[in-house]
């Protein structure tokens, strides 16, 4: 893997992390009810869950590549198409109340910040689908265990840093307003880059079937 592959993975992981979802609500909830330190702990735990999911995805793909290599091109094509759809959603993201699930309720029995942050990432099956789509593009025989763990760490670190920033912004109203005001531009940037690169990935995948 070259520097461009690492940068692409970092970019897509960052785009996935900033996309609004239940995790953001959980981190905000913890910050508002338990304080900034608890938000940091929950962010670290959420990043750990992302690390686990990343490793599961990449090792599963490696196992498939070793035993059923003919399936990988299909996974790569489907993954690239999924990433185009993901990029489309980011480009046309609309900031309104519908993007926030008002019925999302934190279970009362789940009170520990670390456990709550970890659970939030692990119970989301979309994360596994997302990582499978991303990592399927880079599966090859040169991908050793060090690189696999490195990819998992990269995904986990990016996720952790983002949610720490979320925790920080919740405690600084001005910063929070600035992020909300500019999020459309941020999503537009990530979405366009993702779509362009994903179209390239689709063209590469189709070559296998021609």
Q: For the segment 78-126, what is each residue's pLDDT rounded down to a tens digit?
A: 888 887 887 787 788 765 544 444 444 444 444 467 887 887 777 776 7
Give the confidence band of 210 by pLDDT, cuts at 50, 70, 90.
low
| Local confidence band at 128 (pLDDT 50, 70, 90 cut-offs) | confident
pTM: 0.74
CA 204-125-15 angle, 5° bins:
55
Cβ proximity of 198 and 133 under 8 Å: no
Answer whether residue 39 shows pLDDT above 50.
Answer: yes
Distance CA 44, CA 80 (A): 29
The residues spanned by each domain of the chain are 3-209
Give SS3 for 178.
helix
Q: Running DSSP on this structure, what letter comes out for residue 100?
A: S
Using pLDDT thresholds of 50, 70 and 90, give the confidence band for residue 167.
confident
What pLDDT, on the 0 to 100 scale, is given for residue 36? 83
Please give the structure tokens belonging to residue 57.
């995805």
Tell me what pLDDT residue 180 has. 64
Residue 210 burial (10 A CB sphere; 0-12, 13-18, 19+): exposed
For residue 29, is pLDDT > 80? no
Residue 118 vs residue 163, higher pLDDT: 163
- What is the biggest distance separating any 2 CA atoms in the chain, rounded to whole angstroms? 57
Q: Indicate whether 160 pLDDT > 60.
A: yes
74: pLDDT strictly greater than 70: yes
């Amino acid at each position: 893997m070259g520097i461009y592959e690492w940068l692409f993975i970092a970019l897509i992981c960052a785009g996935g992390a900033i996309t609004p979802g239940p995790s953001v609500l959980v981190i905000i909830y913890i910050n508002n009810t338990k304080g900034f330190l608890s938000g940091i702990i929950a962010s670290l735990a959420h990043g750990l869950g992302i690390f686990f999911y990343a490793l599961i995805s990449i090792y599963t793909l490696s196992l498939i590549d070793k035993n059923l290599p003919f399936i990988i091109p299909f996974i790569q094509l489907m993954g690239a198409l999924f990433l185009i759809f993901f990029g489309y959603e980011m480009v046309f993201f609309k900031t309104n109340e519908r993007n926030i699930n008002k019925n999302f309720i934190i279970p009362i029995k789940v009170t520990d910040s670390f456990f709550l942050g970890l659970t939030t990432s692990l119970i989301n099956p979309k994360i596994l689908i997302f990582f499978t789509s991303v990592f399927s593009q880079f599966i090859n025989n040169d991908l050793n265990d060090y690189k696999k763990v490195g990819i998992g760490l990269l995904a986990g670190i990016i996720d952790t840093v983002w949610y720490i920033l979320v925790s920080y912004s919740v405690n600084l109203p001005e910063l929070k307003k600035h992020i909300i005001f500019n999020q459309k531009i941020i999503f537009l940037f990530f979405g366009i880059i993702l779509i362009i690169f994903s179209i390239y990935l689709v063209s590469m995948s189709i070559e296998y079937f021609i």
